[in-house]
Amino acid sequence: MKVIDAISQILKIEGVNYLSAFPTTPVIEAAAAAGIKPVICRQERVGVGIADGYARTTRGNPPGVFAMQYGPGAENAYAGVATAYADSVPVLFLPLGHPLKRDRVFPHFSSVDSFKTITKSVEQINEPDRVIDTMRRAFSRLKNGRPGPVMVEIPSDIANAELDSNILAAYSSSNPVLSSANPSDVMASAKLLLEAKNPIVYAGQGVLYAEASEELTELAELLNIPVTTSMAGKGSIDERHPLSLGSSSVVMNGAVLDYMKKSDVLLAIGTSLTRHGMITTIPTGKKIIHSTNDPIDIGNYYDPDVALLGDSKLVINQLIEACKDLLSTSTKRESPADNISLLKHNWLKDWNNKLLSTQKPMTPYRVIHEFMNVTDPSQTIVTHDSGSPRDQIMPFYSSGGPGTYIGWGKSHGLGTGLGLNIGAKLADPDKFVVNFMGDAAFGMTGLDFETAVRSNIPILTVVLNNSTMAIETSHMATSHELYNTRDLGGDYSEMARSMGGWSEKVSNPEDIGNAFLRAKSATENGQAALLEFITSEEQDFSFRGLLT
């Protein structure tokens, strides 16, 4: 067999069923021959996003995989790989490499050199018989420690080199190695939580990757402690649970704001606590318990009172046992559920003028509100895009638990949500999979809606079309006044129809709910669907940045 055949067989051993790719690379043909379905994107960044969305939905088991050609293909994929790295997503990248005799000779682009800073590891198969060891290391790194992208470059002259067909006998799939936290640190954390007047849990995507949502809910119920999540951790707890506050980023609802301000002890679990422009800063004066599986996170931005290094599921179980021991001789805290419900109710009441607005053009908040009214969060996967859609949906949408929301945004370009959406549908075809994007985001990646149509992947894309870059209003005031620099144009529902998809344009807010039902029906009939809502230049972000 050839090297690429061996790689494809290893992918099958590891449970990979889909290969997101863009030609030219012989990996596509080899994978197809091995029974792995290629999904050919229109541009590499979206192809990476498809593998990314797949991995987020499967929690890396199996990982997403993307293959591309050397030179331009690898160069075009760079932004997508940076996205996966920033959000710690386990994706395997298989770029073709230049022939070894041209490898790393200027001006040829070298994936090995260029992707070092945005991957967990990058390795080249520089001899045919090294394919087994190289792929074993790649999958071991995908499965262990902090999730993140791993790259294996396949030089074009190595790709088709012949191997002994018995070489695969030397390959065996490895299991992840997990660790618990130091027991004394666990007990110290449990005491802090039980002695606290107003503790809070801040859960990140590490809870999702550890499949620890049930344990997180058990801990919250045991201690009567409210839970908020990071943007990437949204869905770690079913947000309809009475102890769920909702998600916390630079946008948050009133319940999150209240408890983030008044809490005295914060248990941050499965999160790096990275400070960046899309997430809230934890107010000073709190005791912090920080649990992560990567020691580089400890003390990186905050100085925790207790640090717990270990897998989120194992650590939460340790905390549950420690707290049960301590509760045997102490009184259980009164449930904050009624107060959480009241805070959410009052906050939503203040927003009813937006959520129930009959104005034309419609407000995007009415679109989100109607979407929630006609869908079941537990049977839906939702993701946002950068800019206004992210800020508008995060505080209002209540996700239905793990695997029902893809939150992202540390280092991401407009249009990322479309690829994530396609990948999520591949990973969980029974869910109603929806991405919300603005017209600027559609301009970046919208042609890949045709990828969903052509590949029979029945997603729903929602375009909130206000014909402008509204979020840039304050940043581009003079240039817009002189040259209309923020204005955009396009009939996106017509574009979707011309690409073979089902689509509707909606201008009347009274039609929103039924339009979503029709779109859902179209996806259930196997059609990729797009809804274009003509919206206002909404600029009300009064819930933004309140803790920073």
> Other C-beta atoms within 10 Å of 90: how many?
28
Beta strands in 180-292 (DSSP E): 199-203, 227-229, 244-247, 265-269, 287-292
Q: Residue 23 class from Cβ within 10 Å (0-12 exposed, 13-18 middle, 19+ buried)?
A: middle
* Of 87, 32, 92, nearest in space to 62 by CA: 92
The pLDDT assigned to 548 comes to 46
- Given this model, what pLDDT does residue 540 score? 60
400 burial via Cβ count (<10 Å: 0-12, 13-18, 19+): buried
Q: What angle do CA 496, 411, 306 make, to 5 degrees?
A: 135
Write the CB contacts of 459 (distance below 8 Å, at least 6 apart in sequence): 421, 422, 425, 433, 434, 435, 452, 523, 528, 529
- Distance CA(197)–CA(285), nearest Å, equals 14
Q: Which of 511, 378, 490, 395 is nearest to 444 (CA)?
A: 490
Q: Which residues, including other chains, have CB under 8 Å from residue 261's CB and lie 6 or more apart?
A: 283, 547
- Give the H or E element holding residue 343: helix 337-350
* pLDDT for the residue 68: 97
Which pLDDT score is estimated for 436? 98
DSSP 44-108: HHHHHHHHHHHHHHHTTSSPEEEEE-TTHHHHHHHHHHHHHHHTT--EEEEEEE--GGGTT-TTS
The token duo for 86 is 């920033």
Do 28 and 153 meet the contact criterion of CB atoms below 8 Å apart?
no
In angstroms, the CA 220 to CA 222 distance is 6
Task: Sort 13 into a burial class: Cβ within 10 Å, 0-12 / 13-18 / 19+.
Answer: middle
DSSP state of 330: S
Antiparallel, parallel or unpaired: β 18-21 and 64-68: parallel
Show the CA angle centred on residue 492, arms to residues 490 and 496, nearest 5°.
140
What's phi and psi for 171, nearest 5 deg?
-100, 135
Task: Output the pLDDT for position 541.
Answer: 56
Angle at 23 between CA 20 and CA 26, to 5 degrees: 90
Characterize 33-53 residue by residue with b for buried, 16 or more Cβ atoms within 10 angstroms of its Cβ, and e for exposed. ebebebbebbbbbbbbbbbbb
Nearest-5° Cα angle at 298, 297 to 301: 75
Phi then psi dihedrals of residue 66, to 5 deg: -130, 135
Residues in the chain: 548
Those residues of the chain that have pLDDT short of 70 are 411, 539-548
Nearest Cα to 467, choosing from 487, 482, 481? 487
First to last CA, the chain: 58
DSSP β-ladder status, 460-465 and 432-438: parallel
| Burial zone of 144 (CB within 10 Å; 0-12 exposed, 13-18 middle, 19+ buried) | middle
* Closest listed residue to residue 85, CA positions, set 113, 60, 57, 52: 52
Contact 264, 243 (CB under 8 A): no
Domains of the chain: 3-170 (3.40.50.970), 183-341 (3.40.50.1220), 351-534 (3.40.50.970)
CA distance 345 to 351: 10
